[in-house]
Structure 1
Amino acid sequence: MSLTELFILAVGLSMDAFAVAVCKGLCLEDLTFKDALTVGLWFGVFQAVMPLTGYILGAQFRDQITAIDHWIAFILLVLIGGNMIREACSKEDHGEPCCKEKKKELAPKTMLVLAVATSIDALAVGITFAFLNVEIVPAVSFIGVVNLVCSVAGVYIGHRFGIKLKTRAEITGGVILILMGSKILLEHLGII
């Protein structure tokens, strides 16, 4: 996987966290860089740990599945991307309730739930990394850093511009994941 492909994948994976970060920015009235960095670190670390976990799980089954690994990658990425698009398009209320209390908004319990929820798709991507023999440590480090930067930016953007970007970010992320899955499949089938 090239650096460009990895970057595109990392941006696609970061769109869920970006959308939640936009909401956090909307909810934090007196935003500081420390607040934005806290959100970014939670999301960035989990976006790095989850594909590593998926890779470890997938590596155990790699030899048994190599003949169909491109189909697995395609199906997982299309399902994840499609689900992101479906969720973005099906929400009637695009806002999320804010408690307006910084301690509650950034509490470890709250952030843990959000970090896990926004990184589940990265677990599935990690499984596909095992089948594609991706260099995992640089890949997950890169994904984590890209997610951290996107999340910090999301907090500031949300604080400045509000919830309008949340749905667009989720749809964009979904489309990127579907395109990456399609590219993997077409490459392995020899079409491109």
Structure 2
Amino acid sequence: MSLETVINELFTLIIMALALGMDAFSVGLGMGLIRLRMKQIFYIGVTIGVFHIVMPLVGMVIGRLLSDTFGTIATLLGGGLLILLGAQMIFASFSKEEKPLITPVGMGLIVFALSVSLDSFSVGLSLGIYGAKTILTVAIFGIISMILTWFGLLIGKRVQSWIGSYSEALGGSILFAFGIKLLFSF
């Protein structure tokens, strides 16, 4: 394999990782609009990075065994989860209660990370069918999605202080809209 081929493959994987990580950035931007500590932002980014490693890895393994028919199902599930998370944040912003139903902590963080990484499962299916280099692919996906999540969360945290009490409703609207986009992209 020539150096040019390796560089082209690496460039392609980075572009794919950026495309996959943009949903984590967008959703991180929305989640950053709720009050989060820096420690929480760190853990959220790492968790999403890990999910962006595990989900395409599982997809690649299954993709090598099966066809890519599961890709549509994974995208629909991800869209549905984002709509639910977004709606919950919107309703919680108008509620008198201080604590939202789902927060990016514990099981809420798992649901959040799963919702933004389901599309990487479907990409993993495709890459598995074409025989991409597994370790390199998932490492690039995980690192880039983690960094993009941190950027989104930090920007959201900064904007949250500017718009005050409306920030959670805005964040929920972003998640909701992104979920709709995933569902109706077919």
TM range (shorter): 0.5 to 0.7
Aligned to 1:71: 72
Q: Give the Cα separation in 2 of the matches to 1:150 and 1:94.
A: 27
Are 2:170 and 1:158 equivalent residues in the alignment?
no
Percent identity between the aligned chains? 8
- Which residue of structure 2 lines up, in the alignment, with residue 144 of structure 1? 146
Give the length in aligned residue pairs: 160
Q: Which whole-Å deviations, capped at 9, do the CAs of 1:115-144 have from their partners, x for residues lacking one? A: 445323234334223123284322222211
Question: Structure 2: any 5+ residue segments left out of the alignment?
Answer: 1-14
The secondary structure found in structure 1 opposite 2:98 is coil
Give 1:148 shift: 0.7
Q: CA deviation at 1:23?
A: 1.8
1:153 to partner: Cα distance? 2.6
Deviation of the 1:64 alpha carbon: 4.4
State how far apart, in whole Å, the 2-side matches of 1:95 and 1:157 are: 22
Matching residue's letter, 2:124: A
1:49 and 2:36 are equivalent in the alignment: no
TM-score (norm 1): 0.64
C-alpha deviations, 1:40-64, integer Å up to 9, x for none?
A: 3111111101121222233332244
Are residues 1:18 and 2:32 paired? yes
**Native 8 Å contact 1:9 1:180 kept in 2:** no
* Residues in 2 aligned to 1:79 and 1:138: alpha-carbon distance in whole angstroms: 26
Instruction: Give the letter for the 1:8 counterpart.
Output: M
Deviation at 1:85, TM superposition (A): 3.3
Q: Quick check: 1:87 aligned with 2:97?
A: no
Q: 1:96 and 1:64, CA in 2 relative to 1: closer, same or farther beyond 3 A?
A: farther
**Quick check: 1:129–1:136 contact (8 Å CA) kept in 2?**
no
Extract unaligned runs of 5+ from structure 1. 25-34, 98-109, 186-192
Distance across 2 between alignment mates of 1:50 and 1:79: 18
Structure 2 equivalent of residue 6 of structure 1: 20
The 3 A distance-change label for structure 1 pair 166 and 89 is closer
In structure 2, the CA distance between the partners of 1:84 and 1:138, relative to structure 1 (3 Å rule), is same
CA 1:85–1:159 in structure 2 vs 1: closer, same or farther (change >3 Å)?
A: closer
> CA contact under 8 A between 1:6 and 1:139: conserved in structure 2?
yes
When residues 129 and 17 of structure 1 are mapped into structure 2, their CA distance, relative to the original with a 3 A threshold, is farther
Q: In structure 2, how many angstroms separate the alpha carbons of the residues matched to 1:67 and 1:115?
A: 27
Whether 1:171 and 2:173 are equivalent positions in the alignment is yes
Q: CA deviation at 1:113?
A: 5.8
Determine if contact 2:25/2:153 at 8 Å carries over to the other structure.
no
Distance in 2 separating the partners of 1:143 and 1:94: 34
For the residue of structure 2 that corresponds to 1:125, the secondary structure is helix
Post-superposition offset of 1:180: 4.0
- Please name the residue that 1:127 is paired with: 121
